């Protein structure tokens, strides 16, 4: 049985899906006003691992992660760059797809964009309005938290102690300081949609509630995101969704910890803000992914050069082991050696069943590597045994996703990136051309421009 820590109850609970053998998961995705950073990458990898583990255990998983493509930050950044909000989203979303693919994060089954569900948001607000939970001010429609007695139950804070969230503007017309906006009335130059309250746009919190309801239904089995989203975002999602429909919004809440840079919280104000693309210039995506896995998902992760080298060296052990398996000349079979694989896989599962303890699971993997290296030195593995070991490694890597890729797939990806670089160069888009060169460099690929075209080699 899989157990996970539920932020809502503050306890570790046995996971019991609504429908046996099926899991619905919703993870808050990025606001696409800028490139993804290491914090975005950690959240993506954490929930990718959780999703992969459910799949490994035989569950059918419907995984949804959104793009917030209308928001105050989107509007501000688009104005700074002299473009529309829609144009900004179209530019930035592909970068997230590219960066997450580098981290070996599987694409979501559905990637809803907030702007695609404005009608659903309006309908949700109308349901709340019909129950007398909203009120209108000169700048929009607000949720009255005094009409929802359980406000604060997710974050564990009392209403009187709560402070307005980062995206809540001061408004003297609000009945309560913590009341949050559901619909913002139109301002000059901002995107706007028609609504019963006048042209405007949705507030941040209503977006995810509407997308969850529309795509997965309510309640969802697991709702996830970073710790920074617990309040106000997830707290407000719970309030408006449960007040509207009278049923739980999410049955299990899962949150991943922060990323620290050399023991300080990563932030732009401290000038220690690292984008995923910058990190890939020095280390391949699978090294960054492995680094994320080395720390339990709920704990702070300290991103340092030392830990990166540790991740790189550990992956080197896996690579070397798989290479030895490929070149090993079979000896005589030893049933006892291979028989340990089954017990080891049960241990692997036991660790991950316990709130996704990846560190424990990795200790099992490296224990198997050590045992099998010893067996190969003593010529105790037959050809059939080697195949069993490869299959074992393949199964555990379906969860971890850190093993080296098959050469054919990698080569094809390299050729596609080189072709894209050539297109960018011909269009005089030299920033994109240089960026692709850096992506390939991070993968250990060096480009050479020759009279016969672009050649590449591994270093």
CA distance 4 to 14: 7
Q: How many CB atoms lie within 10 A of CB 163?
A: 11
Report how far residue 344's alpha carbon sits from residue 337's, in angstroms, rounded to the nearest whole number. 11
pLDDT surpasses 50 at 165: no
- Using the Cα atoms of residue 292, residue 293, residue 299 and residue 301 in order, give the sign of their dihedral: negative
pTM of the complete model = 0.87
Reference 379, options 324, 328, 344, 327; nearest CA is: 328
Per-residue pLDDT, 407: 46
14 vs 1: CA distance, rounded Å: 7
State yes or no: pLDDT of 118 exceeds 90. Answer: yes
Round to whole Å and give the CA distance between 48 and 289: 10
pLDDT tens digits, 176-233? 999 999 999 999 999 999 999 999 999 999 999 999 999 999 999 999 999 999 999 9
Task: Give the burial class of 14: count Cβ atoms within 10 A of its Cβ; 0-12 exposed, 13-18 middle, 19 or more buried.
Answer: exposed
Euclidean distance between CA atoms 380 and 164, whole angstroms: 65
Q: Cis ω on the peptide bond leading into residue 219 (within 30° of 0)?
A: yes
Do 3-256 and 264-400 fold alike per CATH? Answer: no
Mean pLDDT of 153-169: 65
State the pLDDT confidence band at 409, using cuts at 50, 70 and 90: very low
What crossing angle do the helices spanning 38-56 and 285-293 adopt, rounded to 10°? 70
Q: Which of 255, 371, 260 is nearest to 9 (CA)?
A: 255
Q: What is the pLDDT of residue 196?
A: 98
So where are the chain's domains? Answer: 3-256, 264-400, 413-458
d(CA 10, CA 14): 13
Tokens of 299: 């704990």
| Confidence (pLDDT) at 331 | 82
Query: Higher pLDDT residue, 436 or 121?
Result: 121
pLDDT digits (tens, 9 = 90+) for 341-385: 999 999 999 999 999 999 999 999 999 999 999 999 888 899 989
CA gap 413, 104 in Å, rounded: 13
118 HSE (CA, 13 A, CB side): 17
Task: Give the mean pLDDT of the chain.
Answer: 91
Question: Among residues 327, 289, 295, 270, which one has the least CA distance to residue 405?
Answer: 289
> Among 1.10.730.10, 1.20.1260.10, 2.115.10.20, 3.40.30.10, what is the CATH number of 264-400?
1.10.730.10
Cβ proximity of 59 and 116 under 8 Å: no
For the chain, what percent of residues have pLDDT higher than 90?
A: 75
Among 148-162, 285-299, 316-330, the minimum mean pLDDT is found in 148-162
Q: Which of 21-30, 35-44, 314-323 has the lowest mean pLDDT?
A: 314-323
Residue 213: alpha-carbon gap to chain centroid: 20
Residue among 308, 327, 296, 320 nearest 370 (CA): 320
**Better-predicted residue by pLDDT, 10 or 411:** 10
pLDDT band, residue 245 (cuts 50/70/90):
very high
Q: How confident is the model at residue 168 (pLDDT cuts 50, 70, 90)?
A: very low
What's the full length of the chain, in residues? 459
pLDDT band at 457 (very low <50, low <70, confident <90, very high): low
pLDDT of residue 90 exceeding 90, the answer is: yes
Specify burial of residue 459 (Cβ count, 10 A radius: 0-12, 13-18, 19+).
Answer: exposed
CB-facing half-sphere around the CA of 424: CA atoms within 13 A: 15
E-strand ranges in 147-300 read 180-185, 200-202, 220-226, 250-256, 259-261, 264-265
Instruction: Tell me the mean pLDDT in the region 102-116.
Output: 97
- CB-side neighbour CA atoms (13 Å) of 143: 30
The per-residue pLDDT for range 430-444, each reduced to its tens digit, is 888 887 887 777 666
The pLDDT of 120-132, averaged and rounded, is 98
Q: Residues 180, 234: contact at Cβ < 8 Å?
A: no
pLDDT at position 95 over 50 = yes
List 226's β-bridge partners, or say none: 256
On the question of pLDDT at 459 being above 70, the answer is no
Q: Which two tokens stand for residue 320?
A: 């070397």
The CATH architecture one would assign to domain 3-256 is: 3-Layer(aba) Sandwich (3.40)
Give the pLDDT score at 98.
96
Exposed, middle or buried, 300 (CB in 10 Å: 0-12/13-18/19+)?
middle
Per-residue pLDDT, averaged over 138-157, amounts to: 95
């Amino acid at each position: 049985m899989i157990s996970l820590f539920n932020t809502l109850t503050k306890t570790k609970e046995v996971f019991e899906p609504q429908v046996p053998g099926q899991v619905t998961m919703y993870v808050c995705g990025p606001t696409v006003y800028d490139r993804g950073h290491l914090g975005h990458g950690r959240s993506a990898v954490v929930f990718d691992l959780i999703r992969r583990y459910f799949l490994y255990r035989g569950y059918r998983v419907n995984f949804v992660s959104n793009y917030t493509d209308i928001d105050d930050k989107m509007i501000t950044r688009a104005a700074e760059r002299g473009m529309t909000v829609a144009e900004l989203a179209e530019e930035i979303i592909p970068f997230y797809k590219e960066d997450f693919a580098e981290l070996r994060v599987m694409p979501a089954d559905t990637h809803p964009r907030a702007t695609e569900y404005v009608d659903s948001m309006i309908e949700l607000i109308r349901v709340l309005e019909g129950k007398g939970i909203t009120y209108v001010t000169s700048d929009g429609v607000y949720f009255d938290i005094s009409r929802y007695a359980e406000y604060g139950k997710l974050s564990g804070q009392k209403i009187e102690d709560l402070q307005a969230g980062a995206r809540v503007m001061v408004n003297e017309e609000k009945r309560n300081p913590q009341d949050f906006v559901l619909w913002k009335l139109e301002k000059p130059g901002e995107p706007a949609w028609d609504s019963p309250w006048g042209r405007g746009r949705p507030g941040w919190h209503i977006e995810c509630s509407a997308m969850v309801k529309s795509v997965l239904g309510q309640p969802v089995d697991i709702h996830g995101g970073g710790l920074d989203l617990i309040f106000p975002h997830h707290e407000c999602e719970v309030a408006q969704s449960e007040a509207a429909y009278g049923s739980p919004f999410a049955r299990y809440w899962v949150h991943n910890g922060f990323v620290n840079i050399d023991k300080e919280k990563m932030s732009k104000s401290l000038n220690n803000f690292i984008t995923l693309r910058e990190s890939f210039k020095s280390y391949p995506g699978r090294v960054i992914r492995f680094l994320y896995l080395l720390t339990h998902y709920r704990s702070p992760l300290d991103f340092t050069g030392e830990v990166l080298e540790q991740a790189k060296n550990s992956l080197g052990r896996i690579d070397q082991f798989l290479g030895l398996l490929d070149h090993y000349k079979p000896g005589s079979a030893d049933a006892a050696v291979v028989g340990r694989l089954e017990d080891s896989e049960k241990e692997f599962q036991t660790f991950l069943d316990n709130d996704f303890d990846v560190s424990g699971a990795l200790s099992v993997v490296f224990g198997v590597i050590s045992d099998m290296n010893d067996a190969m030195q003593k010529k105790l593995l037959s050809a059939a045994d080697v195949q069993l070991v490869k299959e074992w490694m393949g199964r555990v890597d379906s969860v971890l996703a850190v093993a080296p890729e098959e050469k054919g797939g990698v080569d094809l990806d390299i050729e596609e990136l080189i072709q894209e670089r050539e297109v960018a160069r011909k269009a005089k888009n030299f920033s994109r051309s240089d960026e692709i060169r850096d992506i390939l460099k991070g993968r250990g690929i060096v480009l050479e421009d020759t009279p016969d075209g672009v050649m590449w080699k591994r270093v």
